[in-house]
Amino acid sequence: MKKQVYTTIHYESYLGLDKILDAQNLRSAELQEEPAHDEMLFIITHQAYELWFKQAIHELGSIVDMFDRKLVNERSLGTAVARLGRVEKIFKLLLEQIPIMETMTPLEFLDFRKYLFPASGFQSFQFRQIENLMGLETEQRMTYAGHHYAAFFTKEQQAKLKAIEDGNSLFEAVENWLERTPFLNLGKWNFLEKYRGAVEQMVSKEAAAIRASDYLSEKDKAMRLRMMGNTDTYFKSILDKEVHKTLVKEGKQRLSYDATLAALFISLYNEEPILQLPYRFLISLMDVDGLLTEWRYRHAQMVLRMLGRKVGTGGSSGHDYLNKTAVKHPIFNDLHNISTLLIPRSELPPLTDAVKRGLGFWHEAQE
């Protein structure tokens, strides 16, 4: 057993403040007579981003490790929810840093922007790690000035990004976990058949209510019935496994059929004791994904405010590129789309006593 040795340490040396506080090197101070005052803000804000990116990578990597195995410990699920919550708070903090940056005016930015070429936020290696850890696919990515997203990194960095791509991302780990969950193997109670009957009953009731309406014209009724659809529209992807497979093949959906079915069951019956933590986990994944998308959008708006339609320092189309990534780069869209398949609690197929017992915490009474 290794003997523990306790030594003293100073606050400054423990945090490495000599390195951190000496890392703000203003290019404008080197290349012109008067340094640009706001370049300090620009550097510190981006350095803070990178520090928080490092923490997010630390948390996301640990969650992938927890789920990248055949059996996920129940305690690990609680830890994963807590750590995803931490990543959520980090992304919220990143959003809150944007208004600080926006205290700099466009003219103040132009005082030093000419010295930044060809540096660009696109070259943030840690941000690319976060995207890969979350599960953003290479085929899904926007090209950057016609180049592969990893083209501007060193060979060593490219190898690390490729290793994350080839390994299990958070998306893949969650998909595998959902496919293995026991919630769909409920004995004689067939969730899919019960759900199909409930959906058909719900759609029939809604259609009847529209047809019986006294204040809608026949034209409005026809339009609402078309918009509402039937079990062959919104619900077909879950009621027909082959349809789902086709959608995955076409790139319109990504999550496997079994994983989608498990996520739907967890979402519909989330109040059952054993399902509460898995449901919180799925919600946390969507929250983190949504915040990442929001950060992309706010970043794009900040660039529009600062630069208008100018080309980015790294050669991208600037605002247009960033705005498109906010639309194209969400990762857990399939979990968000589960809401399309939800039905009201009043229409929810009741669970049998045996199923409820399996989804609860039961203890034998002591005699």
CA-based end-to-end distance of the chain: 46
Is 366 a domain residue?
no
Alpha carbon distance 79, 101 (integer Å): 34
Say which CATH number the domain at 314 has.
Answer: 1.20.58.480
Is 168 a domain residue?
yes
Is 175 a domain residue?
yes
**Amino acid 231: pLDDT:** 61
**Amino acid 53: pLDDT:** 97
Is 223 a domain residue?
no
Is 230 a domain residue?
no
Expressed as residue numbers, the domain containing 85 is 38-185+240-344
**Amino acid 146: pLDDT:** 74
Domains identified in the chain, total number: 1
Is 290 a domain residue?
yes
**Amino acid 367: pLDDT:** 42
**Amino acid 313: pLDDT:** 53
Is 135 a domain residue?
yes
Each residue's pLDDT tens digit in the chain (367 positions)? 667 777 889 999 999 999 999 999 999 999 999 999 999 999 999 999 999 999 999 999 999 999 877 667 777 899 999 999 999 999 999 999 999 999 999 999 999 999 998 888 888 999 999 999 999 998 888 777 677 888 889 999 999 999 998 888 999 999 999 998 877 777 788 999 999 999 988 888 888 888 888 888 888 888 887 777 666 677 889 999 999 999 999 999 999 999 999 999 999 999 999 999 999 999 999 999 999 999 999 998 998 898 887 665 555 557 888 888 888 899 999 999 999 999 999 999 999 988 888 887 654 444 4
**Amino acid 232: pLDDT:** 64
Alpha carbon distance 154, 161 (integer Å): 11
Is 50 a domain residue?
yes
